[in-house]
Structure 1
């Protein structure tokens, strides 16, 4: 039986991963499965993967400095896309600048409720034009909540604490999305990356000794990021789960030994995962919580008491990965969203059988207050569906010739030419909204066959 709580809250499980991959090639598929826990019985709704120091060639670097768009993903993003799409996840968006990449995926069941997807980047490297350091961000409206996904790679070295803060301030000031939204104007910000904050005062030998003894509290007391979180400013608005794992940097490659080179880098928690719920959203959620209390409804164990809850034991480093001098750092959380009117805006129904080199029929239904706009289009996608740009054919949305029914819905009959389709098999039809920068709907999978079949 549904309770009042089921009508008030919507839960989404998010898995996050940040990894400085050290200019290495992508790991094999089995390692990606392990990295993201894809074989878990409790699958995530959203995967957020932020990488630093991915391999780039000079041509790609130069084009991005000159702001030329690249139509290809980095090798890591392609591997992630290939693996996750086979498990019914699609790419919300990927954004990269030089060696910094961010990919966000969602289960295909959530596609109709993810709108207004935007990206932006800010370079803080050499001369503030080089993208080896900086931030990349994705903004999306998810179930009517504005969420910002942020990946940063900040200035390196122990004595560059001030420079790191300057990087942060510049990234938060300069990253703006098309709706003029800033990072901090979002209801929720998920921020991860190689933030490069270090442990002050202690020598390498002292730090390693405390790591062996698991005296993490003593080390965290001298952690530069922890220091900033205690003072007023941008960083103080963010939260972090308790750190119960050893520093993720710096290791000898292909080993679990902290740096044995001549430089003898001091180990540090450079790779971090933070989150921020806006004060306005926090106040609104508190009102929902008070309402639950008023009706004597106690959330069951899987429902967090606050807006976002890091699942216990999930914030950790993965020591088995040895191909970089950093260990990947992962976390898993449950986000509590107010349950608003989450009905689909558009519905697509396939009619009859579709045959290659012919025209297939389908029907588009626009829910109340929804109408087709200029530059909207319909696209044909092969399965497994990967992302909105991967269509095999497309067509402009036909002009409406009917009036709304009593429920305020508009229904439109369409025909799609399959003359450009060279492969038979499973396909989907999607509706792309130019205004919302996203697909509003995907049909169920259907078969396109040859005449002989």
Structure 2
């Protein structure tokens, strides 16, 4: 009988939120970070790792001079400190920010941590749009977390596709065997991707469908879903279809849509696992939740979170994560070449 031994069995919490340049000063993040008993991790435990992406954080010089870290990172750190979490790393590109926190016991199993950023605004000259990322060896496997903010507005679909390909092409790391995003064994990509609904439904008609929870019908018009089916962008990634209302655009401070824009699922979380590229080792990332957080009305976007059960298992063999790291990141490492997305326009 084949038995599996777990090298790692973690719950990873991902969050994306476009905060519209607002300060976190008066925000209580306990509910948002599942610190109030609402965790979706197995056995109601807290996540092992938090990776949080923000868009449109304030970039005023006064803020940047006063704080070494962005106020949002400091707010998260304050919320998680009592639970013995430590900051692993952060990366900011103007208003785009990614930060990672982990339970202290996991820190020895994190190696070759790198951050990267790609500007896509104004043809790559401006960082108001683009992506930031954190990559690392996590229990021996290569993992990349990418937070992006793509071109806005209904009519800018072509620009969003171009932004995506520019990020994929320009994001480069130093880790051997993991130079690019999709070289990684695990990829988690999230952010304000800004995809809208195709067609010409009015904002009022979309709101009526939302009020009646006809999400499945609306998601047939979702640009991200249509692109992934055609292979134009994001086709290497998977997404659990949202079962929550569109997260944009709200009147700030309320749960009422601002119908100057058509409601859309702009804020998304996708992932990819190369599950069987190492002999005798199985990688998996079972998604446990995908939800919006309607109680938070700071900006015109609602936060979106997801939890994943990240597992690294071996069959009838016992590897340490050090040995797995040598296999994946070491000098003899040559991971299977991942599938590549077709070139844009093909």
Aligned equivalent of 1:331: 306
Change (3 A) 1:44 1:165: same
> In structure 1, which of residues 291, 304, 308 is the aligned counterpart of residue 285 of structure 2?
308
TM-score, scaled to structure 2: 0.84
Aligned equivalent of 2:51: 48
Correspondences of 1:303-452 after superposition (within 5 Å):
307-311=284-288, 314-338=289-313, 340-342=319-321
Change (3 A) 1:164 1:91: same
Aligned length: 309
Instruction: Give 5+ residue unaligned stretches, structure 2.
Output: 38-43, 324-346
Contact 2:161 2:232 in 1 (8 A): no
Aligned equivalent of 2:332: none
Correspondences of 1:240-319 after superposition (within 5 Å):
240-260=239-259, 264-278=260-274, 281-284=275-278, 307-311=284-288, 314-319=289-294
Aligned equivalent of 1:225: 224
Aligned equivalents of 2:80 and 2:160: distance in 1? Answer: 34
Contact 1:8 1:288 in 2 (8 A): no
Contact 1:282 1:307 in 2 (8 A): no
User: Is 1:21 matched with 2:37?
Assistant: no
Aligned-residue offset at 1:198: 0.2
Aligned equivalents of 1:46 and 1:28: distance in 2? Answer: 24
Contact 2:139 2:322 in 1 (8 A): no
Instruction: Give 5+ residue unaligned stretches, structure 1.
Output: 64-69, 290-305, 345-453
Aligned equivalents of 1:215 and 1:193: distance in 2? Answer: 24
Larger radius of gyration: 1
Aligned equivalent of 1:174: 170
TM-score, scaled to structure 1: 0.65
Contact 2:157 2:195 in 1 (8 A): yes
Aligned-residue offset at 1:27: 4.9
Aligned-residue offset at 1:233: 4.8
Aligned equivalents of 1:179 and 1:16: distance in 2? Answer: 23
Aligned-residue offset at 1:59: 7.6
Change (3 A) 1:343 1:128: closer
User: Is 1:205 matched with 2:204?
Assistant: yes
> In structure 2, which of residues 103, 107, 119 is the aligned counterpart of residue 111 of structure 1?
107
Instruction: Please give the secondary structure, in 1, of the residue aligned with 2:30.
Output: helix
Partner deviation per Cα, 1:204-224 (whole Å, 9 max, x = no partner): 111111101111111111100
Aligned equivalent of 1:381: none
Instruction: Please give the secondary structure, in 2, of the residue aligned with 1:93.
Output: strand
Aligned-residue offset at 1:343: 6.2
Aligned equivalent of 1:39: 36
Aligned equivalent of 2:214: 215
Aligned equivalents of 2:186 and 2:15: distance in 1? Answer: 17
Aligned-residue offset at 1:236: 0.8
Aligned-residue offset at 1:71: 8.3
> In structure 2, which of residues 90, 97, 110 is the aligned counterpart of residue 94 of structure 1?
90
Aligned equivalents of 1:96 and 1:90: distance in 2? Answer: 18
Partner deviation per Cα, 1:86-117 (whole Å, 9 max, x = no partner): 21111111000100000011110001110000
User: Is 1:120 matched with 2:123?
Assistant: no
Contact 2:252 2:298 in 1 (8 A): yes
Compute the RMSD of aligned alpha carbons: 2.3
Aligned equivalents of 2:286 and 2:25: distance in 1? Answer: 29
Aligned equivalent of 2:60: 57
Aligned equivalent of 1:12: 10
Aligned equivalents of 1:178 and 1:27: distance in 2? Answer: 37
Change (3 A) 1:182 1:336: same
Aligned equivalents of 2:321 and 2:276: distance in 1? Answer: 21
Aligned-residue offset at 1:127: 4.2
Instruction: Please give the secondary structure, in 1, of the residue aligned with 2:307.
Output: strand
Partner deviation per Cα, 1:125-176 (whole Å, 9 max, x = no partner): 1242211110001111000001001000000000110100000000111011
Aligned equivalents of 1:208 and 1:27: distance in 2? Answer: 31
Bigger relative contact order (CA 8 A; separation at least 6): 2
Aligned-residue offset at 1:284: 4.1
